[in-house]
Each structure stands twice: as structure tokens, then as C-alpha cells.
A = this chain, B = another copy of it.
């Protein structure tokens, strides 16, 4: 059985479903079959709080967002162990995100986050490694995700987490990582998936420093109380930071004895529907828009937005 629930519904009315035998073949309100002029776009807010001891250098998280091209979000979290080898762990993650921006509209990438990761990785010459997540929205409302390691992405719909990525790790505290070294992972090791989004869905993506310090129900609660994506991103990052320095707080990872103080990056994106004029959005193969001058932001905490 599923949990006993029908008893809580109104009494059965003994009617058959109202679906016609040949309903239109559509998936969401963004489907071109239903409304050629409606496209899904992301409204994006970001917030980064560096590790308390790394405020001056900006920490080792980097991110990239692009509100143009229907919406792109990406986070790279530099592996801090490189500092023990006199390598600045922030260089790799920052360069990786810069190349992610550069190759966004590359023809070979073809708006595929896994191929974008491949290109950005191949172009990165800094020594180091990073966990990374890239998510790109199609105008149809399909979010494409590629993730290596323990950056995360959750989707909140109608007050509940309805999708969540899983972290990948070799063993405790050693996540999969894109690396300058052959021992690291590549785009071929990425979790690659898609999710069909609906208008109003909220995307919450972050580094492990965020998700290690906040519970799902807290994320849902903050999202419901925030008036916009900027406010939500800031409130979520600050709540995670507060938990990370509170030794009495039972965080999701405190049971695993992981050090909870970390760089905290949060990206919040809301799925919106925009109307496209008649002469656009139709017969467009990719539909991600090809206008130059996209609203691109590659950021570390030095240029925090939110």
C-alpha cells in the first residue's frame, strides 16, 4: 500500500479521470507544442561567504551565473589540500569558472553542461582540483545538470524538495574532483541528468560548505519566507554560516565529525515564464538565444552579488 491517504481525501465520487482519450502531447507549460511564445528563464541570486580564516583572500569557492541564455549556474569548490603543497587552492576553481563562462556559447559545447565542463577543464592550466556543478536551463523548462563531487543542487516545488543531486566521493571526505592531475576525475565521471521544471520552481545550488550546514526543511522554510532570489541566497548563506560556527548545532554532517567551517556559496534561481514576440522563439533550433553581450558574472567573494 501507499501510506493510507484516501481516507483523508473527500469521499470517492466514482468518476473516471477527466483526461480525454487523445489529450495534447505536452509536458509542461513551456512546451512549444502548447505555447510557442512562452519560454522558461531563471531569475538568479547569489551569495558567497568565505571561510572565516580566508576572508582576506576570498576563499576557494568560485561561481558563474548567466541570466541570459535562459539561465546558467555553476559552482567550483577548490580542494584545500593543495595549500599544503604551496599551491593556492583558489586558482584552479576560479580559472575553471572563467573558462566555463568563455565556452558557454561554444559550438561544440552545444549547450551541454557535461561538454562545457570538458572544454573548461581542458583549458584550465592552473595546478589544483575542484568539485564542480554546472546547470543550464533550456527554454522548454528542462534543466540540464553535470556534477563532479559534492557541490549540490536541489529543486523546491510547492514547499518540498522534489529533486536533489547526490554527492560522489571516493571515501569519507575525499570527493570526486576535476583536477590538474591524471589521478582526478573528468567530465566522463560526472553525474549527468535533467529535470523538467515548472514555473515557480526554485533551484538552490551550493558548495558542500553550504549543504553540510543546513537541513532541507530549513532551506524550504527560508525560501518560503524570502521575497526574492537575492534575499533568499543571502539568508540561506548566513543561516549556514551561523550553524557552521555553532558547536551546539547538529548539522547534517556533524555526526560525521567533519570540520564544518568552510567557504559557503549559495545560488538561488527561480523559474519564470517570459513571453517571446511572434518572430522569436519559433523555428529556433537551440533557442538559447545568440545575442552578444550576455549578462555574465564570474565571481568569487571579492565580487559578491546578492
Q: Is A115 an interface residue (CB 8 A)?
A: yes
**Cβ A82 vs Cβ B12 within 8 A:** yes
Oligomer copy total: 2
Roughly how many angstroms separate A173 CA and B5 CA in the complex, as a whole number?
A: 7
Roughly how many angstroms separate A21 CA and B108 CA in the complex, as a whole number?
A: 11
Roughly how many angstroms separate A163 CA and B130 CA in the complex, as a whole number?
A: 21
On whether A149 and B2 interact (CB within 8 A), knowing A166-B161, A182-B18, A193-B194, the answer reads yes
The segment out of A73-81, A274-282, A297-305 that lies at the interface is: A73-81
**Cβ B209 vs Cβ A80 within 8 A:** no
Scoring A11, A18, A122, A208 by chain B CB atoms within 10 A of each residue's CB, the highest score goes to A122
Set of chain B residues within 8 Å of A177, measured between Cβ atoms? 2, 5-6
The segment out of A63-71, A83-91, A244-252 that lies at the interface is: A83-91
Q: Which residue of B lies closest to A16 (CB)?
A: B125
What mask results when residues 185 to 201 of chain A are scored 1 for a CB within 8 Å of chain B, else 0? Answer: 01010011111100000
Residues in chain A within 8 A of chain B (CB atoms): 1-23, 25, 27-28, 51, 59-61, 77-82, 84-85, 87, 89, 108, 110, 112, 114-115, 118, 121-122, 124-125, 127-131, 149-150, 160-166, 168-169, 173-175, 177, 179-184, 186, 188, 191-196, 207-209, 258, 262-263
Known contacts A1-B61, A9-B183, A16-B180; 14 additional CB pairs below 8 A are A1-B262, A2-B77, A2-B78, A2-B150, A5-B173, A5-B177, A6-B82, A6-B177, A14-B180, A15-B181, A23-B122, A25-B108, A27-B192, A191-B195
15 contacts between A and B (CB under 8 A): A1-B79, A1-B262, A2-B60, A2-B79, A3-B174, A5-B129, A5-B177, A6-B177, A7-B85, A9-B129, A16-B180, A19-B186, A160-B166, A164-B164, A192-B195
